[in-house]
Amino acid sequence: MKDGKIHIPGRKKQPVENQAVIRLSPEAYNALVEIYNESTLSMKELASIIILQSVDRIVYDKED
């Protein structure tokens, strides 16, 4: 998987219209805190930017 993409297993969930709450692993939260400490943006803004900019790098590994 050295293609520069983020590989995740495929699944289907319905999108939401309003704000949703997700839980992060301690490692992911701490990584976000490190980015937050170097930024002027809120954690919500940072997480949103990181997710939205990562969308084009994701490859869905679906089982046949």
42 within domain boundaries: yes
pLDDT at 33: 96
pLDDT bucket at 64, cuts 50 / 70 / 90:
low
16 within domain boundaries: no
pLDDT at 1: 54
pLDDT at 52: 94
32 within domain boundaries: yes
Which residues contact residue 24 at a Cβ distance below 8 angstroms, ignoring those fewer than 6 apart? 32
Which DSSP state fits 38?
A: T
Question: What's the CA gap between 43 and 50, in Å, rounded?
Answer: 10
**Structure-token pair, residue 50:** 């990181």
Residue 35: give the domain boundaries: 6-10+22-61
40 within domain boundaries: yes
Contact 36, 46 (CB under 8 A): yes
Question: What's the CA gap between 17 and 47, in Å, rounded?
Answer: 18
39 within domain boundaries: yes
27 within domain boundaries: yes
pLDDT in tens, 3-61: 888 887 777 778 888 888 899 999 999 999 999 999 999 999 999 999 999 999 988 88
Count of structural domains, the chain? 1
